[in-house]
Chain A
Amino acid sequence: MIRARDLTKHFRVHKRGSGLAAALKSVVRRKYELVKAVDGVSFEIQRGERVGFLGPNGAGKTTTLKVLSGLLHPTSGEVEVEGFVPFRRAPELLSAITLVMGQKSQLIWDLPPADTYAMNRAVFDVPQEAFERALKELTELLELGDLVTKPTRQLSLGERMKCELAAALLHGPTTLFLDEPTIGLDVAMQLAIRDFVRDYNQRHEATVLLTSHYMDDVVALCPRIIVIDQGKLIHDGDLRALVKQTDPDKRVSFTLVTPRADDELVKLGAILKREGQRATLRVGEKDLPAVVGHLLGEWKATDLAIEDPPLEEILRVMFGKAREGREASS
């Protein structure tokens, strides 16, 4: 279980203008600014939950994950992970969690991943039998094959990420902090990693807290999302409920068999996209059955798809509202 109560993390950051004069001036007199990376965030995550942690760049997501995994001391507030205070770095806690960072690597660059795995086995004191079992399971799930015996520097980004995940999970952690685990990967690899995370979560009843810039990762994996912006929590709850609450309209995409003017389309819903015979309309929930019936029946449209609005759009609306609220209150 993960619990954060009024968590804050502030950094004192050196600030200076651009140019040589400003650089020289900053040597003599420094100006500092207090950055509230995380500002009074509270949430609880139960064992086995998969939670998406969203926010724009610099919102405080990674800082929160680092506090939760014991890398950073919080400025104030309480944090508890699996019954431990993370920054005290109890060995029992560190053996029960893992942090995967898509932009950092723990694999030994010049040697095959197998050497990093052997090192982690010693570090986490994993018995040989359990280690071999875990490695076999991870090799199957991640389809590692002979990647583990090739020098890390010869692996592609996607291959390296798969090996990275195995290194992070060999000790069988039950709490996974995943910070952009699919960054820079192609779609096939993203899907493979998504499937893997879901499978691991179900097999081990592991708690997963995931940040990702790819909203598809979050939609596919996380029934619940926590959204922060400028260090403050602005939403915590069910993903579908959030979508419904923010923008209940559906996106209806279809291909016309006979050409229709925009004037005709507008009668069914707002046009979001039009490329020749292919169109996407925004349709209210209560009008949906009639519109779909019309498209399929009278217009004989093909390739019809009904989707929720993209999460990116929902978040954009949310961040806009949160900022307006903050500006109004200040």
Chain B
Amino acid sequence: MTRALRLVLLQLRVNIARAAAYRADFIFNGVMTLVSMALALLPLLILFDQRKVVAGWDKPSALVVMSYFMAVEAILEGLINPSLVDLVERIRTGAFDYVLLKPVDAQLMVSTSRQEPWHVIDLAGALALAIYAFGLRGEPPALVDVLLGIALLVTGVAAMYAVFIACAAASFWVVRLDNLVYLLGALFDTARWPVQVFRGVWRIVFTFVIPVAIMTTYPAMALLGRLDGRTALATVGGTVVLLGLARVIWRTAIRSYTSASS
């Protein structure tokens, strides 16, 4: 385990060095990231200009969901997505060979191969938004809710990671998966809204199929002190099931690797 952790930290160090090698890119991407954050807030602010409450959520509470969305997206864009895009490219070019030739878990290696460190700015923005939202609410969260909120942020990220790794594993069969990555990104976009906003079949889809509820709504409800114990446990259980499924899909997919010719 310590070896795995050492490896992950080393990959992070390499990626920070890589990002630093292109200084202008680093600054440009940091600024872009701030702009896209501001744009992400717009629809929500417009909606709550018109209405006080939407599906039981007032503006400050919806902003907490949004801050979770930003945090999870920052982690997605900073830690997970670059690695998976890199994986698809490696499979296409055959460079994935070098991952399989290493005596460490291939899933761990590819999941941590690339990071884009400037997304740490988004994370700071998400935190600032959460603080602002609680300021609007006029009462700070209880310590136990903060701890549960952080724990569920971890499960939210893990759930999203599971969905992404399962989809990326498909690139062992279908080499060009760029569109699938975009589709996942678009579906994940729905996580900026509390899941209660969606009705009927869509709520089921966004709770169980593409678990945006696990990613943002439930963690936000935990922070707001609104989540019951059963849902919290179900969230953790659902994440564990998703991670297990992703692992099975990954292991099955890796057997189909045909290695692009030299």
A interface residues with partner B (beta carbon < 8 Å): 11, 62, 66, 69-73, 89, 91-92, 94-95, 97-99, 101-106, 108, 110-111, 115, 118-120, 122-125, 151, 179-180
Residue of B nearest to A106 (CB): B98
For residue B112, give the distance in angstroms from its CB to the closest CB of chain A: 11
| Residue from A71, A91, A101, A102 with most neighbouring chain B CB atoms (10 Å) | A71
Contact A111 B21 (CB under 8 A): yes
Residues on B with C-beta less than 8 A from A179 are 262
Q: Is B101 among interface residues, defined by CB-CB distance under 8 A?
A: yes
For residue A110, give the distance in angstroms from its CB to the closest CB of chain B: 5
Contact A110 B101 (CB under 8 A): no
Residue of B nearest to A9 (CB): B258
> Which of B3-11, B43-51, B201-209, B235-243 contacts the other chain?
B3-11
- Cβ-defined partner of B103 (8 Å) among A66, A95, A101: A95
Interchain Cβ contacts under 8 Å between A and B, 21 examples:
A66-B259, A71-B100, A71-B257, A72-B259, A91-B103, A94-B102, A95-B103, A97-B101, A102-B262, A103-B262, A104-B93, A104-B94, A104-B262, A111-B14, A118-B10, A119-B10, A119-B11, A120-B102, A122-B10, A123-B109, A125-B103
Residue of B nearest to A96 (CB): B103
For residue A37, give the distance in angstroms from its CB to the closest CB of chain B: 10
Contact B262 A72 (CB under 8 A): no
Contact B255 A73 (CB under 8 A): yes
Q: How many A-B residue pairs have C-beta atoms within 8 angstroms? Tell me.
A: 75
Q: Is B104 among interface residues, defined by CB-CB distance under 8 A?
A: yes
Q: Is B183 among interface residues, defined by CB-CB distance under 8 A?
A: no
Contact A99 B101 (CB under 8 A): yes
- Complex Cα gap A124–B79 (Å): 23
For residue A97, give the distance in angstroms from its CB to the closest CB of chain B: 8
Contact B18 A101 (CB under 8 A): no
- Complex Cα gap A115–B14 (Å): 7
| Residue from B94, B95, B98 with most neighbouring chain A CB atoms (10 Å) | B98
B interface residues with partner A (beta carbon < 8 Å): 3, 6-7, 10-11, 14, 17-18, 21-22, 93-95, 97-98, 100-104, 109, 255, 257-259, 261-262
- Cβ-defined partner of B18 (8 Å) among A69, A89, A110, A125: A110
- Complex Cα gap A72–B21 (Å): 35
Contact B17 A115 (CB under 8 A): yes
| Residue from B7, B102, B255 with most neighbouring chain A CB atoms (10 Å) | B102
- Complex Cα gap A240–B53 (Å): 88
- Complex Cα gap A106–B102 (Å): 11
- Complex Cα gap A71–B262 (Å): 13
- Complex Cα gap A99–B14 (Å): 23
Residues on A with C-beta less than 8 A from B94 are 104
Contact A119 B14 (CB under 8 A): yes
Residue of B nearest to A73 (CB): B255
- Cβ-defined partner of A104 (8 Å) among B7, B14, B95: B95
- Complex Cα gap A89–B257 (Å): 14
- Complex Cα gap A99–B98 (Å): 9
Decide yes or no: A180 and B98 within 8 Å by CB, A111-B21, A115-B14 being known contacts. Answer: no
Residues on A with C-beta less than 8 A from B100 are 70-71, 89
- Complex Cα gap A108–B114 (Å): 11
